[in-house]
């Protein structure tokens, strides 16, 4: 019934509009449909991950199959719908190009295998910029430049990243809080000893140190490597970053006497 209505509606619309406007309208509608499905599926994956605590990799796998299935079905349906009366293959080629451009614009020019990261802000490596939604709903960009582990005695444990890092850092936003997750290989059986003494983990964001206490840490072993997952709230990050900036400016002012501090930072 719906298919019949759409075919009739398309035929009537074709009679009313010139060819160029007709196909432009169809392309715009297809873009809106594609974007709507993407946002809807992304929300579903975030809800699944948050409510049912399914594994991040599993959530991404489900999402990537849903997105491509919906895009494929939508694309084929548009072809069938329009080719019933107007078999212009060039128009369908344009739709395919629009689909490709859509995915490329979401996450930039990335390899096919990495499209999975677009679902939940995905995988990040050291040096990449991370976008965080703060408590005011504003997007803040921070750069992850380093990671330090701190034991209960307050001593900083520096790990050689090229020896210990098993996978890139994973950062993803949910509705009310965020996760940061990364893994270490269990090289020489030293990591369990380090993690047993772990009291705090410190990150360098914008080259400013900022820490999270052990209450927010979740450490577990998976296969041949140890994984650390941190749950935190964006407002906490915002406060820590702001305080770090203030301290940095105060320190700089003391070094360079007479330089006024930026009062806007305190607001």
Contact yes or no for 67/38 (Cβ under 8 A): yes
Say how far apart CA 192 and CA 223 lie, in whole Å: 14
Q: Are 9 and 101 contained in the same domain?
A: yes
Q: Are 128 and 145 contained in the same domain?
A: yes
- Domain termination site, one of 118, 141, 172: 118
Nearest to 70 by CA among 25, 101, 36, 93: 36
pLDDT of the residue at 28 = 72
What are the pLDDT tens digits along the chain (267 aa)? 455 555 566 666 666 666 666 666 766 776 776 666 666 666 665 555 445 444 444 555 555 566 666 666 666 666 665 655 555 555 665 666 666 665 555 444 333 333 333 233 333 444 444 444 434 444 444 444 445 555 555 555 554 444 434 334 444 444 444 455 555 555 555 555 555 555 545 444 433 344 444 444 555 555 555 555 555 444 444 455 455 555 555 665 665 554 443 333 333
Q: Are 109 and 127 contained in the same domain?
A: no
* Strand bridging mode 198-205 / 208-213: antiparallel
User: HSE on the CB side for 14, CA within 13 Å?
Assistant: 13
Domain that holds residue 14: 2-118
Q: Phi first, then psi: what are they for 86, rounded to 5°?
A: -135, 85
Those residues whose C-beta lies under 8 Å from the C-beta of residue 228, and which sit 6 or more positions away, are 181, 182, 183, 184, 195, 201, 217, 218, 219
Q: Are 153 and 251 contained in the same domain?
A: yes
Say how far apart CA 233 and CA 227 lie, in whole Å: 20
Q: Are 136 and 257 contained in the same domain?
A: yes
Q: Are 18 and 114 contained in the same domain?
A: yes
Query: DSSP states of 201-251 as a string?
Result: EEEEETTEEEEEEGGGEEEEEETTEEEEEEEE-HHHHHHHHHHHHHHHHHH
Contact yes or no for 242/227 (Cβ under 8 A): no
Q: Are 48 and 107 contained in the same domain?
A: yes
Kindly state the helix (H) or strand (E) to which residue 33 belongs, with its residue range.
helix 19-51
Encoding tokens for residue 202? 């410190």
Say how far apart CA 129 and CA 162 lie, in whole Å: 20
- Can you give the pTM of this predicted structure? 0.28
Say how far apart CA 124 and CA 141 lie, in whole Å: 13
- Per residue in 209-238, pLDDT (tens digit) is 444 444 445 555 555 555 555 554 444 444
Encoding tokens for residue 235? 């407002």
Say how far apart CA 225 and CA 185 lie, in whole Å: 4
If one counts the domains in the chain, the total is 2
Q: Phi first, then psi: what are they for 49, rounded to 5°?
A: -70, -35
Q: Are 49 and 14 contained in the same domain?
A: yes
């Amino acid at each position: 019934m719906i298919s019949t209505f759409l075919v009739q509606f398309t035929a009537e619309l074709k009679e009313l509009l010139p060819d160029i406007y007709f196909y432009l309208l169809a392309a715009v509608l297809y873009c809106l449909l594609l974007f709507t499905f993407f946002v809807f599926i992304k929300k579903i994956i975030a809800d699944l991950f948050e409510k049912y605590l399914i594994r991040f990799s599993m959530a991404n796998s489900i999402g990537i199959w849903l997105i491509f299935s919906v895009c494929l079905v939508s694309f084929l349906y548009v072809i069938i719908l329009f080719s019933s009366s107007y078999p212009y293959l060039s128009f369908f080629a344009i739709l395919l190009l629009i689909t490709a451009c859509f995915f490329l614009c979401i996450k930039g020019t990335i390899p096919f295998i990495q499209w999975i990261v677009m679902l939940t802000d995905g995988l990040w490596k050291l040096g990449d910029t991370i976008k965080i939604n703060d408590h005011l709903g504003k997007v803040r960009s921070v750069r992850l430049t380093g990671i330090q582990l701190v034991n209960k005695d307050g001593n900083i444990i520096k790990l050689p990243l090229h020896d210990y890092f098993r996978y890139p850092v994973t950062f993803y936003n949910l509705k009310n809080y965020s996760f940061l997750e990364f893994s270490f290989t269990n090289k020489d059986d030293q990591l369990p000893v380090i993690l047993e003494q772990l009291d705090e983990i410190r990150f360098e964001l914008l080259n400013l140190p900022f820490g999270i206490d052990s209450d927010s840490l979740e450490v577990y072993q998976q296969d041949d490597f140890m994984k650390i997952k941190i749950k935190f709230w964006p407002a906490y990050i915002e406060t820590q970053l702001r305080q770090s900036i203030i301290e940095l400016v105060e320190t700089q002012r003391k070094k360079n006497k007479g330089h006024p501090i930026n009062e806007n930072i305190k607001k």
